[in-house]
Each structure stands twice: as C-alpha cells, then as structure tokens.
Structure 1
Amino acid sequence: MLNSQIHLDFDNVNSLSSSTTGVIIPSTGKDNWDAVITSCQNGKNNHFALGIHPWFVENHQMIDLYDLEVKIEEEKPIAVGECGLDYTKVKDQNTQRFFFDEQVALATRFDLPLIIHSVNATDDVTDLLKSYSKSRGVIHAFSGSLQQAENLLKINFSFGFGSTLTNPHAYKLHDIVKFLPIESIVIETDDRKNTDELIQVAERIARIKKLSVDQVIDQCDQNTFNIFNIS
C-alpha cells in the first residue's frame, strides 16, 4: 500500500512497513530539499515534494521562493509541499499567508498538486485555495470540522488521515471519514516512528466505511495515484 506522506529523511523515521509499496516524501524547507530528493533516488516508487512548511517560514526569505521555483523546474517533484498555515505553532500569520500564497501560485504555474499542513487555519486555507481555480491536492492529517471538510470537498481537495484516526475516541474524525467519499481519502504516517501504523489506519477506515481492508487499500492507493499523477 502507498504511504501518501512520510518524512523518511527524519532521523526518527528510518524504515518502512513491509506492506508499503511506495511513498511520498514532502520537504519542510530549503534545508532538506536535497535530502528528500536523495532519499528518492534509490527507490522507483519513492516520490518527493518540495515546499516550505509553515513552521519554518521565518527561516526563509524571498530568494528562497525563487530557489524553490528553480528546484521545481529542475528536479520535477510530484507536488508542492509541505506548505500551508498553522496558527497554533506559528503566531506570525501574515508571513505564513504570504509564503503559502506564493507556493499555491507555484503549484498552479507548474500544474502540480499541493500537500497542505493546516492547523487551526482551515477557513483561511480554504479561502486562499478558492482564489486559485486550478489548485488541487491533499490536506494532510486533516483536523478541521465536518463543515470545513465539506467546503474543501467542494473545491476538489482530498484528505490525508494518519494514526490519530485509530484512536477509538476520535469521534469527530470518525464522523468526517464516514461523511467523506472513499475516493477523497489517502493514508499516511507523516513523522510517526512506527510505519506499521499505516495498515492500522486502513483497518479503521474500513470499519468506519463498512468496507473490506483490501477495498480501502486499493481505493486509497488509486486516489494517491490520481492526485499525484503517479503511473
């Protein structure tokens, strides 16, 4: 099965689940662009995305957006990301919005999907995405409300879910997964050390959606292929 987001270049994430058949490795900023590219050179089913994470926007300048554009043109990532807004971790909302806006514009220019980090900022993320009619991609580790999920679904965005979903008391997330069409869901482990949790996420989705685990894996894999144009 495909892992739609895993930080395989992180020190605490150093192995793959035996059930994993392919991965997408997003970057967090200029300091690890080369690392994620290198980590994908030895696996034909390993794919990378390039972006500037909202946690690290304060370490970046305008010139880094130009360098990102050059990297995208030269290295051909499958997505722009990880980018987005996080109003809990980073207080400077204006700088975050500027870098996010610029990256959505880059994704539109290069016709690439986005991998978006959104924490306590989903309404602003949605409003910005609406201003780019061709924007598409995944809200990874979705943590918004059911109404926010519905609004994002209307503009053709998909939703990544990880180990938080396996918590039996995560009732809000369970309701959102129940509401969403299975065609809009992908599975991830993000920065989790135990990548075997990938199958546990699939099992939880299967229970919520009343589908077999194989059906969930097959569909979520296909969703990942479709979103990121992976053949």
Structure 2
Amino acid sequence: MWIDTHCHLDASEFDADRQQVADAAEAAGVRGIVVPAVAAWNFEAVRALARHDVRCVYALGIHPLCSPGAGQADLDTLRREVAASMGDPRFVGIGEIGLDFFVAGLDAEHQTWLYAEQLKIAREFDLPVLLHVRKSQDQVGAQLRKLGVKRGIAHAFNGSNEQARRFVEQGLKLGFGGNVTFSRARQIRRLATELPLEALVLETDAPDMAPAWLSDDQFGEQHKARNTPAEVAGVARVMAELRGIDAMTLAHATWRNAVDAMPRLGTFAESMAPRPGLR
C-alpha cells in the first residue's frame, strides 16, 4: 500500500466529489494521505478533513504563495494552533512552508522572514516540516541548517544532485510525484534513480502536478488536468521501474521513509502499513 505525503485534498477542486476521490485512492492502494495547510484561513479545513476521513492526517503552515499579507498575527495564530494540535494524533508537522522564487511579484525578503519564523515554531515543538522549494533549494536549505531543523520532506524536489545531497544530509526526505513520470524530465528521473532509496517518498500534490497520463502532452501541461491522490500508485509504478525494484520493496521503503520524516504518523502508519498482496 502507498502513502501520499503531499495532497491538498481540501482544495475547492474536490468540493464536488471529495469522498469519491478519497475512496478511489484507497481502491488504488493509497492508504494514507497527508494534507498540508497553506494559510491561517484553511487550518480548520485541513484539521476537519483529517478528523472526518480516517485516511488523512494534516500539517499546519503558511505557504510562500500566501505570504503577501501574512504577518506576525498569522504566525501567532499558527503557533497557537500548533500548540492546540499537539494532542491530536492526526497532526503531523509544519507545512506547507518554504520559498518560491519562480512566481513573479513575491517579496523574497518577506518570504524568507515568514519561512524562518515558521522553522522556529517547528524547532520549538520538535516537528518536521513539509517544504516548498521552487527555484529556492539553496536558500531553503540554508535556513534549515541555520535554524537546526533536521526532519521533514522537500516536496516536489527538482534540484541538482548536490542540492539533493545536502537536503538528505540535513535529515530530510525528498518528495517525488507527477514530474517523475515524464520521459523528458531527465534530471528528476536521474535523481529518482540514483538517490538512496531511504531518501525518497511519494506524493501527488493533487490537484496539481498531474502525471504524464493525465496531461495534455509529454511535458509542461500538468496544470490542465486535475490530479488526485489515487495517482500516487502510478507514480510508484514509474519509480519502481526506474529503480529496477519490485512494488513491495518500494512500498515498504517509502512508507518507512514517510514515518521517519513524520514520526507523529505513529500508530496510524503502523495500522495502514504495506502487507503481502500489494496492488
């Protein structure tokens, strides 16, 4: 069985059929779904989703794309909500946080401040982080090292081998999703093949980052198709083929890696862990 370590199942794209989407994921062998928040306004939504659906767990954080207008009051809300969630077994970490230097118009200095302050909250509560690292691998990693955060996932990783090595040495796992299914994504596929198996986790980033078989062409049109957590099973098939290993080996490894990245998965992960007869 599989775990989707990054899925925005609370997004409006799923409002019409959220339950059916989650059921389809389970039918495809996806037994766990990690749902990160993106801003203070959806903290309660991701929490409620996880409490409603036994397949889901959640993280709380402020996404860099939501950084405009986010200030100290939002950080205060985050810290308060994190403290209140520490007794909730379905709360697994701080996320989605990080830096985005791809989207034009975002204030890099403000993003960096907001990211660093959230890392401090993660450090204070000894929680892992779910990281957004678009065009910002070096800067995201530098803040991790500066503030001593050593557990979590660099989501949708698309950096160099050296950047990947530094994240892994810091103690993080690297998330691979729909991008790895494209034959022209050579660097991502090379990383997925050559990195140590213990460094990898699987994800969808649904409703975004649709795999090749849902997209309009062989590269770059992922945004035109709705991705779903069921597709992590297809991502896993591609990953297993690239590495030349069987599905059960990959399932056990990536599940173990997810638990190592997010220890609060705990008993939830144990009860859902891969068994013989994997799909």
**Is TM more than 0.5 here?**
yes
Question: SS of 1:126's equivalent?
Answer: helix
| Number of residue pairs the alignment of both structures matches | 231
Matched, 1:56 2:57: no
- Which residue of 2 is the match for residue 85 of structure 1? 99
- Which residue of 2 is the match for residue 145 of structure 1? 160
1:145 deviates by 1.4
**Match of residue 129, structure 1, among 116, 140, 144:** 144
Residues 189, 195 of structure 1: 8 Å contact kept: yes
Q: Deviations over 1:159-215 (max 9, x none)?
A: 011111111121100111122111111111112333332111111111121110121
Letter in 2 for 1:151: R
Take 1:136 and 1:126, find their aligned partners in 2: how far apart are those partners?
12
- Which residue of 1 is the match for residue 196 of structure 2? 181
Take 2:204 and 2:149, find their aligned partners in 1: how far apart are those partners?
27
TM-score in terms of structure 2 length? 0.80
- Which residue of 2 is the match for residue 117 of structure 1? 132
Q: Deviations over 1:72-109 (max 9, x none)?
A: 00023311000000011153100000000001110010
Matched, 1:100 2:100: no
- Which residue of 2 is the match for residue 214 of structure 1? 248
Residues 58, 92 of structure 2: 8 Å contact kept: yes
**Match of residue 198, structure 1, among 217, 223, 232:** 232
Residues 202, 254 of structure 2: 8 Å contact kept: yes
TM-score in terms of structure 1 length? 0.96
Instruction: Find runs of 4+ consecutive structure 1 residues off by over 3 angstroms.
Output: none
Residues 3, 188 of structure 1: 8 Å contact kept: yes
Take 2:109 and 2:140, find their aligned partners in 1: how far apart are those partners?
13
Letter in 2 for 1:69: R
Percent identical pairs in the alignment equals 26
**Match of residue 40, structure 1, among 43, 50, 55:** 50
Residues 104, 135 of structure 1: 8 Å contact kept: no
- Extract unaligned runs of 5+ from structure 1: none
1:40 deviates by 0.5
1:119 deviates by 0.7
Q: Deviations over 1:16-53 (max 9, x none)?
A: 21221111100000111010000011233421000000
Take 2:175 and 2:234, find their aligned partners in 1: how far apart are those partners?
14
Residues 128, 149 of structure 2: 8 Å contact kept: no
User: Is 221-230 or 64-73 further displaced after alignment?
Assistant: 221-230
Take 2:118 and 2:194, find their aligned partners in 1: how far apart are those partners?
29
1:55 deviates by 0.1
Take 2:62 and 2:111, find their aligned partners in 1: how far apart are those partners?
10
Take 1:195 and 1:47, find their aligned partners in 2: how far apart are those partners?
13
1:11 deviates by 2.0
1:134 deviates by 3.9
